[in-house]
Amino acid sequence: MYLLLLSLHSIVRWVVLIAGVVVFILALRGWLGKRQWTRLDDRLGLVFTSALDTQLLLGLLLYVVSPLIRAIFADFGAAMGVTGQRFFALEHALLMVIAVVVAHVGRARIRRTAEATVRHRQAALFFGLALVLIVLAIPWPFAPAARPLFRLQIG
Ligand code: HEM
């Protein structure tokens, strides 16, 4: 169960990143080129926030079942001194939750706005900020809390 969740969490990260990059590029192009807001823009924003929601759910489940998190909470004070442990217990979880909130606030504001250029600008700013937070909080293989780029383990 744990390894399945961890593998899904690792894979869905790529859906989040690809969707995030696509919506950001389309938003910038729409904003700077003063383009129409299309149904595709709306659908892709939904794909991004839905992938993020799925990842949030997987992350919360991992937080409950992960042996790493259990070990951290067994001696929280000591774990805060270990970069790789503090990262997953605090920084990763917190920054990702903030990214999810920023993306949802952005989508809600876009839907309340009528003018196409303003919609694109809001998409670029909110989805762009969410994307930056996500990229910063991913445990890349070169980061102190290094994790693989792909994981496919189910038991
Ligand atoms: C929403 C965007 C998120 C992305 C893109 C993301 C990405 C990742 C990645 C790539 C890993 C490493 C997976 C591996 O070892 O193969 C990971 C690990 C982890 N994530 Fe996330 N995550 C997100 C949100 C969250 C949230 C919101 C939480 C908790 C509230 C969370 C909790 C964890 C935990 C606990 C681990 C380590 C589990 C372990 O090693 O036992 N994640 N995450």
Q: What string of DSSP letters covers 34-47? A: TPPP-HHHHHHHHH
Q: Which of 8, 50, 64, 92 to mutate to test the pocket of ligand 1 (most atoms within 8 A of CB)?
A: 92
Please check whether residue 11 is in contact with residue 150, taking contact to mean a CB–CB distance below 8 angstroms: yes
What are the tens digits of pLDDT across the range 4-58? 999 999 999 999 999 999 999 999 999 999 999 999 999 999 999 999 999 999 9
Please check whether residue 146 is in contact with residue 140, taking contact to mean a CB–CB distance below 8 angstroms: yes
Q: Taking the model in full, what pTM does it have?
A: 0.96
Q: Which residue has a Cα nearest atom 42 of ligand 1? A: 59
CA distance 109 to 106: 5
Distance, CA 92 to ligand 1 centroid (Å)?
A: 7
What are the tens digits of pLDDT across the range 59-114? 999 999 999 999 999 999 999 999 999 999 999 999 999 999 999 999 999 999 99
What pLDDT sits at residue 48? Answer: 98
Band (pLDDT 50/70/90 cuts) for residue 154 is: confident
Ligand 1 contacts CB of residue 124 (under 6 A): no
Q: Which of 96, 104, 132, 153 to mutate to test the pocket of ligand 1 (most atoms within 8 A of CB)?
A: 96
What are the tens digits of pLDDT across the range 18-27? 999 999 999 9
Amino acid at 81: G
What are the tens digits of pLDDT across the range 119-150? 999 999 999 999 999 999 999 999 989 999 99
Domain boundaries, the chain: 2-137
Count the Cβ atoms, other than its own, within 10 Å of residue 71.
12
